């Protein structure tokens, strides 16, 4: 869950207790414990599960793992570990999910996690939802783009100006979207996961 969303829910439902959970179709749902009701830090695992972080990516091994995919290579290594593809930050036993490796945006060799930018945009006035993705660029490899859904109509020029200013105040320069779009359509699938346009890095210019 986006941190901005997690912080808004207690204001709407002050007596609700929230808990982040983590699961995969290959392994099922892991037992989880949130650091606090408004925290994105979570401890996952429990009986029957082992976890480890390798090169910043969460790996899980379980007695309950599926056998494999039909007519496809096994997603598990020889020792039974599954690389989840989720980049994480580690603090003792607790993890913070930064985002999918496949969603990472490489801007001139610097990594941008879309969720970090989306959290900032979701805190902006009049923004109902935001989807951040990369677009290929001949010099930088990729640049950051943002598509926002508004609560009420607003002039694009004024919107771009204030959103860019907000991002510059809270994010490193390479994480600030270079372009903003307005959309009336939801950027989620039926499981409410973000559907981000995929963009391969542009080829380097030739002389």
Predicted local distance difference test score (pLDDT) of residue 80: 92
In the chain, the domains with their CATH numbers are 3-98 (2.30.38.10), 104-182 (3.30.300.30)
* Alpha-helical runs (H) found in 100-207: 114-122, 156-170
Write out pLDDT tens, residues 68-93. 888 888 899 999 999 999 999 999 99
Task: Give the global pTM.
Answer: 0.77
Predicted local distance difference test score (pLDDT) of residue 202: 44
Report CA-CA distances (Å) from 152 to 44, 65, 149, 182. Answer: 39, 46, 9, 11
Q: What is the mean pLDDT of residues 15-38?
A: 84
Cα atoms found within 13 Å of the Cα of residue 79, Cβ hemisphere only = 8
Q: Which phi and psi (to 5°) does residue 20 adopt?
A: -75, 140
Query: Which carries the bigger pLDDT value, residue 193 or residue 175?
Result: 175
CA distance 173 to 178: 10
Mean pLDDT over each residue of the chain, to the nearest integer: 87
Write out pLDDT tens, residues 110-157. 999 999 999 999 999 999 999 999 999 999 999 999 999 999 999 999
3-state secondary structure of 151: coil
């Amino acid at each position: 869950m986006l941190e901005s969303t997690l912080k808004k829910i207690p204001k709407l439902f002050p007596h609700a207790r929230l808990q982040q959970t983590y699961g995969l179709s290959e392994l099922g749902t892991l037992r989880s414990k949130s650091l606090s009701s408004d925290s994105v830090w979570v401890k996952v695992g429990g009986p029957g599960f082992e976890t480890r972080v390798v090169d910043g990516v969460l790996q899980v091994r379980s007695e309950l793992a599926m056998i494999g995919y039909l007519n496809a290579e096994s997603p598990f290594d020889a020792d039974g570990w599954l690389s989840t593809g989720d980049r994480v930050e580690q603090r003792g036993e607790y993890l913070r999910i930064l985002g999918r490796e496949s969603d990472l945006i490489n801007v001139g060799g610097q990594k941008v996690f879309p969720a970090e930018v989306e959290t900032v945009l979701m805190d902006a006035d009049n923004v109902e939802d935001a989807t951040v993705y990369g677009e290929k660029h001949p010099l930088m490899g990729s640049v950051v783009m943002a598509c926002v859904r508004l609560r009420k109509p607003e002039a694009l020029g004024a919107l771009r100006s204030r959103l860019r200013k907000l991002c510059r105040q809270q994010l490193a320069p390479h994480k600030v979207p270079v372009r903003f779009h307005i959309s009336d359509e939801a950027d989620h699938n039926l499981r409410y996961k973000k559907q981000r346009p995929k963009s391969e890095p542009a080829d380097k210019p030739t002389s």
